[in-house]
């Protein structure tokens, strides 16, 4: 095998490895959601794609925490709501028979609200998953 052939093979191997790594790290695929914390900051529509079909799903509208009136209607415009807290009956969402999320309107999901979420300020909004 010539040197240029070896380089082409090596380059191809590196490209394939990078593609495999990138697909494994992607957060867009529902299978990548391991636990409830992986749902934080996602649109409710995206989060729903990770819920098991037979799971009980509870959605809490916690808009008052951002000084808005609660207005969530089940299944209506899920892409306009952002998850700020979540829990599930099992460590892995895929193994859960109960998933609960707290949502706010996406327009109210500011960097300041994201910081509050990351600080755990909204954890008490979901309690149904505790044994």
| Distance spanning both ends of the chain, measured CA to CA | 63
Q: pLDDT per residue over 49-96, tens digit each?
A: 999 999 999 999 999 999 999 999 887 888 999 999 999 999 999 999
pTM (2 decimals)? 0.74
Residue 52 contacts residue 90 (beta carbons within 8 Å): no
Q: pLDDT per residue over 8-59, tens digit each?
A: 544 544 445 444 444 444 444 445 568 999 999 999 999 999 999 999 999 9
Q: What pLDDT is stored for residue 126 in this prediction?
A: 92
Residue 73 contacts residue 33 (beta carbons within 8 Å): no
Of 65, 75, 130, the C-alpha closest to 98 is 130
């Amino acid at each position: 095998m010539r040197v240029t052939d070896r380089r082409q093979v090596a380059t191809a191997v590196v490209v394939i490895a990078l593609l495999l790594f990138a697909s494994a790290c992607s957060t867009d695929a529902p299978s990548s959601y391991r636990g409830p914390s992986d749902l934080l900051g996602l649109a409710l529509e995206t989060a729903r794609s990770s819920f098991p079909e037979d799971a009980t799903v509870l959605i809490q509208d916690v808009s008052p925490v951002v000084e808005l009136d609660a207005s969530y209607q089940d299944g209506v415009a899920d892409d306009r709501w952002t998850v700020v807290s979540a829990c599930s009956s099992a460590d892995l969402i895929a193994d859960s028979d109960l998933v609960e999320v707290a949502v706010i309107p996406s327009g109210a999901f500011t960097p300041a609200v994201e910081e509050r979420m990351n600080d755990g300020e909204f954890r008490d909004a979901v309690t149904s998953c505790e044994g």
